[in-house]
Amino acid sequence: QSVLTQPPSASGTPGQRVTISCSGSSSNVGSNPVSWYQQFLGTAPKLLIYSNNQRPSGVPDRFSGSKSGTSASLAISGLQSEDETDYYCAAWDDSLNGRVFGGGTKLTVL
Amino acid sequence: EVQLVESGGGLVQPGGSLRLSCAASGFTFRTYDMNWVRQAPGKGLEWLSYINRGSSHIYYADSVKGRFTISRDNAKNSLYLQMNSLRAEDTAVYFCARDRAATAREGGMDVWGQGTTVIVSS
């Protein structure tokens, strides 16, 4: 059972906008920045979003992040087939004194 | 090229020990905080440990506290994870990852190694 809750799956058609949610609590998402990672099977994760809504250089602006209260979201606009993979959210947890991940969301492009 | 390369994984018996290494290159290692993250087969990511640039702040996940020890040698541009009392549930791919921010709370692991596989089995 992950500390941060993500839907196990999400889907969309090419060109569509999809969002993936990440629900936490006051000790993690509610009080610390959220980051998002993209991971293809058998490879290392890649940082997509940090500090709730900042993109590292090289990440397309189709990817955006937001946060409100104890929930965060990753939005992918102009969905492409190559976006089909796993996505994880993460944040520091002040109660656990450690970093926590969501359980991951498998995105399918229909 | 900014790079992290893990090594030291392998097959170990339950109760055994293993030391993972992570060699950094292409950036000033001593100015970055570092992490270990693992992924069990077919499962999600699990953060294990964090060490700041000067080794003065170290944190562990409850699942490995008291069994695993993170350390670094800035002169050798290397990060380590000493794993003791290994259990079957420690079987996973272990990644080292660089923290982009100045503090642990800010988060954002922007450079990752390719991972090294640890299998705990008799």
Query: What is the SS3 string spanning B8-47?
Result: CCEEECCCCCEEEEEEEECCCHHHCCEEEEEECCCCCEEE
Residues 6+ apart with CB under 8 A from B54: none
Which DSSP string corresponds to B51-73?
E-TTS--EEE-TTTTTTEEEEEE
Q: Inter-chain contact B107–A96, Cβ cutoff 8 Å?
A: no
Q: Inter-chain contact A44–B101, Cβ cutoff 8 Å?
A: no
Residue of B37, B46, B108 lying closest to A50 (CB–CB): B108
Q: Inter-chain contact A90–B101, Cβ cutoff 8 Å?
A: no
Of residues B63 and B103, which shows the higher confidence score? Answer: B63
pLDDT (0 to 100) of residue B104: 83
Both tokens of A101, joined, read 């991940």
Mean pLDDT across B31-42: 97
Find, in chain B, the residue whose alpha carbon is nearest to that of A33: B106
The confidence band for B106, taking pLDDT boundaries of 50, 70 and 90, is: confident
pLDDT (0 to 100) of residue B105: 84
pLDDT (0 to 100) of residue A86: 98
Cβ atoms of residues A47 and A65 within 8 Å: no
d(CA A58, CA A89): 19
pLDDT digits (tens, 9 = 90+) for B37-95: 999 999 999 999 999 999 999 999 999 999 999 999 999 999 999 999 999 999 999 99
pLDDT (0 to 100) of residue A75: 98
pLDDT lower than 50: segments of chain A: none
Share of chain B above pLDDT 90, in %: 94
d(CA B30, CA B55): 10
Residue of B44, B105, B107 lying closest to A88 (CB–CB): B44
The confidence band for B111, taking pLDDT boundaries of 50, 70 and 90, is: very high
Find, in chain A, the residue whose alpha carbon is nearest to that of B35: A99
| CB of B58 less than 8 A from some CB of A | no
pLDDT (0 to 100) of residue B62: 96
Query: Is residue B110 scored above 90 in pLDDT?
Result: yes
pLDDT (0 to 100) of residue B103: 84
Q: How many CB pairs under 8 A join A and B?
A: 80
The residues that bridge with A79 in the sheet, in sequence order, are: none
Minimum distance, in Å, between the CA of residue A27 and any CA atom of chain B: 11
